[in-house]
Structure 1
């Protein structure tokens, strides 16, 4: 397959004290597909996925608030999911107007899109959502507070609690910030992904702001994890959702998506034998699954 270098159009979206750097490429007449990254990434997370999508879609990526070239107020408060979901919708409004868009998101990008699609009327703006390694924290909180008291159910609950224990460290104030200032270097992160996730080094592209993003991005954990998981709300959506569930994800266990049909009226799922960073490990698969889902719901 021959991949031509695409023209990239950049714009800035201003929203609630932040400037969001937004990038567009692909078929200008194609359906709009918005890609949302998580921590500690920027829009560069999708560099390997984009070439597989641009012939079919008008693809939009952006740096979320306080990451990459996007700015913010520098507070914990601004990293609440409600604000990040509002940022996402501001990008959608800027690039699409009243035209509905498709969405692909990973990690915290997926978590914030869940927040957005559970708002009333979201199904009139979002045509589909492909989610990777990022559940709704409200849904996860409800699941954690209502475990199934069977051997399998308890094992799943314990394994997710153990897998999520790292978030307590990430929320512990100056210690993790100091840790990532020292060890949050691109070559260390690259080596980790190559060893643990077996990511091809050619897929690894990092923003110059990587270490800064890694440290500042920890605010998203402090702003959301405890308040959402301990006090979950009932959040429903009519947006069609497709889950790409990574079965070897050390952070988000597959069982945490159990019962999502209660919250999403149209949901499908594909389990993938991969670790957390599937967009880096197998970008072609991510693009293929996303495109197939879009085409499937249009039939």
Structure 2
């Protein structure tokens, strides 16, 4: 079961919501903030945090609509600007003086990309992204594959097949019925077994119905606008992409074909399925720590560096 007793603090967002935050490790060490995706909550980072907290101050929080955090009803409350502002509020609370290192998965990565390519860039020392591209980058990537070249068309077709569920998620109330009947959760359990590495063991999480239902708003609030009119979003934050080779939702090319948007990019293909933070936590922690070591520990007072704007 999801353990609410592990909550260390509550952070209030700009629109008055409460976010549940969990911390481990020495708070005087560099801070790593972990952002989970859909339909998970911050418990997906438990084993990764166990590895990283030996060297870092590790922060996990339930994003709005998930876990013990507040669950607003309206779609506008789930727009990327709101999600990035939530991340900023968490960073201000757990590391007010120093930049943090960001580690994110799935929709956690999508919203973190929005922050890294926007006004929060000066608050982030490094970013490790797993299975969640920037929506604007993804839209530009898909358009770039609309050319008469066999490889480009194959990559586009492969990703369109993987993304087929997104259209279904917009067909309310059908996805809600799928989750409420339990059939959707059984399908998800089966998908979790696909693409696993040889040493990767699937661990069935306790997925809560409210997380499944409220998280649908992430898709409905953000997808159409970003894909019909994508923005040009770039970043100077050092980025590492961990791309699972067996991911059934996000292809490796979609995650990694972003060098034109990122000044300093490192790509690591990793054997495993979509949920490698749970299936291979030691690997995720090791790559994250290496990336942090390369860019520096982030222990620089914010007053020593100019603030970047979006």
> Normalising to structure 1: TM-score of the pair?
0.90
More deviation, 287-296/245-254: 245-254
Contact 1:98 1:125 (8 Å CA) reproduced: no
Q: What is residue 297 of structure 1 aligned with on the other side? A: 295
- State the Cα deviation string for residues 198-229 of structure 1 (Å, max 9, x = none): 5635x44436xx11111111111111112111
Q: What is residue 91 of structure 1 aligned with on the other side? A: 90
Cα separation, 1, equivalents of 2:34 and 2:201: 21
Contact 2:99 2:123 (8 Å CA) reproduced: yes
Cα separation, 2, equivalents of 1:248 and 1:194: 10
Whether 2:35 is the aligned partner of 1:36: answer yes
CA root-mean-square deviation: 2.0
Q: What is residue 177 of structure 1 aligned with on the other side? A: 176
Cα separation, 1, equivalents of 2:127 and 2:275: 18
Cα separation, 1, equivalents of 2:58 and 2:104: 13
Q: How many aligned positions are there? A: 288
Structure 1 residue 234: deviation in Å?
0.3
Give the 3 Å change call, closer, same or farther, for CA 9–171 of structure 1 in structure 2: closer
- State the Cα deviation string for residues 155-193 of structure 1 (Å, max 9, x = none): 10111112111100011110001111111687x478436
- State the Cα deviation string for residues 121-164 of structure 1 (Å, max 9, x = none): x3321000000000000000011122243110111011111211
Q: What is residue 257 of structure 1 aligned with on the other side? A: 255
Q: What is residue 151 of structure 1 aligned with on the other side? A: 150
Contact 1:36 1:110 (8 Å CA) reproduced: yes
Structure 1 residue 258: deviation in Å?
4.4
Q: What is residue 201 of structure 2 aligned with on the other side? A: 200
Q: 2:214 aligns with which of 209, 213, 216?
A: 216
Contact 2:244 2:270 (8 Å CA) reproduced: yes
Contact 1:44 1:206 (8 Å CA) reproduced: no
Structure 1 residue 8: deviation in Å?
5.2
Cα separation, 2, equivalents of 1:19 and 1:119: 23
- State the Cα deviation string for residues 47-88 of structure 1 (Å, max 9, x = none): 121111111000000000011110032111111111111111
Structure 1 residue 117: deviation in Å?
0.7
Q: What is residue 46 of structure 2 aligned with on the other side? A: 47
Give the 3 Å change call, closer, same or farther, for CA 175–93 of structure 1 in structure 2: same
Structure 1 residue 195: deviation in Å?
3.6
Cα separation, 2, equivalents of 1:237 and 1:78: 25
Structure 1 residue 257: deviation in Å?
2.8
Give the 3 Å change call, closer, same or farther, for CA 197–159 of structure 1 in structure 2: closer
Cα separation, 2, equivalents of 1:81 and 1:116: 9
Cα separation, 2, equivalents of 1:158 and 1:105: 26
Contact 1:184 1:214 (8 Å CA) reproduced: no
Q: What is residue 124 of structure 1 aligned with on the other side? A: 122
Structure 1 residue 298: deviation in Å?
2.2
Structure 1 residue 196: deviation in Å?
3.1
> Normalising to structure 2: TM-score of the pair?
0.87
Cα separation, 2, equivalents of 1:112 and 1:206: 23
SS at match of 2:155: helix
Q: What is residue 265 of structure 2 aligned with on the other side? A: 267
Q: What is residue 62 of structure 1 aligned with on the other side? A: 61
Cα separation, 1, equivalents of 2:172 and 2:17: 24
